[in-house]
Structure 1
Amino acid sequence: MNILRLAPLVAIALAACQPAATSQETAPLAGAKIGGPFTLTDQDGKRVSDTEFAGRYRIMYFGYTFCPDVCPTDAAAIGKGLAMIEQDDPSLAKRIVPVFVSVDPSRDTPAVLKSFVANFHPRMVGLTGTQAEIDAVAKSWAVFAGKGDAQPGGGYLVNHSRTTYLMDPAGKPLALLPSDKGPQAVADEIRRWAK
């Protein structure tokens, strides 16, 4: 892998290691060139653009439904973290939408995504598209994804970056969410930056 492709991800990861926010503190990803417009297909087969999430905080996660370990674990942490916020601050929780973007569009059809995201949160949106659409979104979000070697039985794994972004209501990046640290860490980091 080209080391230059990893540089933005390393910078983002280092920016996430910050102490608790104060009212004057700038979000770690403020001003980062992450994200952008997209139009993809949701779990109901409907074409959805980024503008449909305007005015809400977005949790953006990139993975695939056939992932044997990391993606379901992270999706569960995101869903449970959001459920914790729903208990403590329902008005804030209503302004947050969790989004799971597939990096494996050849297998992740809308029907497959619908079943997958329903396991983690009732408002989680699953998005897929053509390979070209997914490649364009992955590039604008600094996400790496590539099909791995074939597995016995004809399946394959997808090598991909493990990044969970918290975006503000205008679609600008705020921070990385530590979905690898579990639901409490996700909820804490959302509360830190979402107002």
Structure 2
Amino acid sequence: MSTRRFALAALAALALAGCQKADPDRPAFKGIDLTGAEYARGLNLTDQDGRARSLADFKGKVLVVFFGYTQCPDVCPTTMAEVAEVKRSLGADGDKVQGIFVTIDPERDTAALLKAYLASFDPSFVGLRGSEEQTQAAAKEFKVFFAKVPGKTPETYTMDHTAASFIFDTEGRVRVYARYGAGAQPLADDIKLLLAGK
């Protein structure tokens, strides 16, 4: 992700944070509280095993949804490693956490590649992919930015993209926007709140 775009995304996130009102009944998330957001309400794509999946398939679990691509050099593998670390740190409760990776590069990220990539972090992670049009629609629903950046050859392009995770509660409602770079502990803290029904 370019520095300029990352800075703009960070500013947008801070602006969102500044709009939150203090409410003693709301949990004190480390990430940005998205409770009641009018977006990130649906996700209908195909998983790495060829099955059509939606958010409703994971009801009862806390979901961590991240948009990225398998050839990403830093942000994507770091994020997936942190989600896997959090799952392990929760012990038995880790089974109630579902990592979901949505590829923004369906041109290169085949189902087989997604399966192998995610298995290297946690075998329970689900990879979702769709056509270019489906990917654009999913990104629009989540207000996620992505764009292809040409490389030295047509095959070596990279992707600029929003660097954050969306955390859903066990009822399938988006609750937290977790910015990249915050680390595993804040993510774990927010997931624990949601597992506790907050």
TM-score by length of 1: 0.83
Alpha-carbon RMSD:
2.9
Counterpart for residue 72 of structure 1: 77
Any idea what the Cα deviations from partners look like across 1:83-134, whole Å, max 9, x if unmatched? 1112xxx1x3222211011111111111010011011112111111111111
Report what 2:168 is aligned to: 167
Instruction: Specify the SS of the correspondent of 2:117.
Output: helix
Q: Does 1:146 align with 2:151?
A: no
Rate the CA distance shift 1:143–1:15 in 2: closer, same or farther, 3 A: farther
Q: Matched residue of 2:189: which SS?
A: helix
Amino acid at match of 2:48: Q
Query: Which residue pairs with 1:155 in the alignment?
Result: 156
Q: Give me the TM-score of the superposition, normalised by structure 2.
A: 0.82
Query: What SS class does the counterpart of residue 144 from structure 2 fall into?
Result: coil
Q: Percent identity?
A: 31
Does the C-alpha gap of structure 1 residues 146 and 153 become closer, same or farther in structure 2, counting only changes over 3 Å?
closer
Q: How does 1:41-80 map to 2 (within 5 A)?
A: 41-80=46-85
Partners of 1:78 and 1:179 within 8 A in 2: no
CA contact (8 A) 1:101 1:126 kept: yes
Aligned residues: 186
Deviation at 1:178, TM superposition (A): 4.7
Cα separation, 2, equivalents of 1:84 and 1:32: 29
Unaligned runs of 5+ in 2: none
Question: What 5-or-longer segments of structure 1 have no aligned partner?
Answer: none
What is the Cα deviation at residue 63 of structure 1?
0.5
Residue 109 (structure 2) aligns with: 108
- 2:98 counterpart of 1:93: no
Q: Distance in 2 between matches of 1:121 and 1:178?
A: 21
Q: Is the 8 A contact 1:65 1:71 kept in 2?
A: yes
Does the Cα contact within 8 Å between 2:87 and 2:95 map onto a contact in 1? no
